[in-house]
Structure 1
């Protein structure tokens, strides 16, 4: 007796065994309504080893500030799913959202140089 093998859509061809909607528990939108495609994301220094591969790929991509749209493009994922997956990682404390400008400047000399330049204006 021959067995039919389901080869599904392009996700199956890429080797994915779990459909993306399973990874996000069927959610179609993020709970955090402030997330949009331009939202910047950065990974926090936590161990992602217990996460599914798809989530670890996002964490790896977020070593530096990156937008949700860029994450989706680099990982070839639908933007809606990418936004929901980032929301899941945010809820679980694996990433932080914001903007690169929110980073604290640790070098006081840079601040003093900027202040001196402003005072010369």
Structure 2
């Protein structure tokens, strides 16, 4: 019969997790940026991610579009506290930006003109 530690190690290896999470976050238990909460919106910035651990790259892949920290946690199936620390580290290294989806630049001028015309008709 396989003991608990051997089974956990095998499961982690099968999932591709080779580095324990506490090593990835340098032992941090809370983010340095106190404003991070589960509703904080995160978006990935253009950067070379080849030097990052897979957990960080997965967060950046999920954040190609604005996404809340709670959503990232759910998609990655990681505890919210760990995801907040991982996002905080990515923020410190300029891999992500914080804000809201409403802050995105709208590039579709025709959509804006249609919206303006509709508002003027009111």
Q: Under a length normalisation based on structure 2, what TM-score does the superposition of the two structures give?
A: 0.83
Alignment-derived partner of residue 81 in structure 2? 80
Measure the CA separation in 2 of the matches of 1:9 and 1:30. Answer: 30
CA-based RMSD of the aligned residues comes to 2.1
Structure 1 segments, 4+ long, off by >6 Å, are none
| Alpha-carbon distance, 1:10 to partner | 4.3
Structure that is richer in helix per residue:
2
| Alpha-carbon distance, 1:17 to partner | 3.2
Measure the CA separation in 1 of the matches of 2:48 and 2:61. Answer: 11
Alignment-derived partner of residue 49 in structure 1? 50
Unaligned runs of 5+ in 1: none
Q: How many residues align?
A: 117
Unaligned runs of 5+ in 2: none
Alignment-derived partner of residue 94 in structure 2? 93
Is contact 1:40–1:66 with CA below 8 Å preserved after alignment? Answer: yes
Q: Under a length normalisation based on structure 1, what TM-score does the superposition of the two structures give?
A: 0.83
| Alpha-carbon distance, 1:18 to partner | 2.3
| Alpha-carbon distance, 1:69 to partner | 1.0
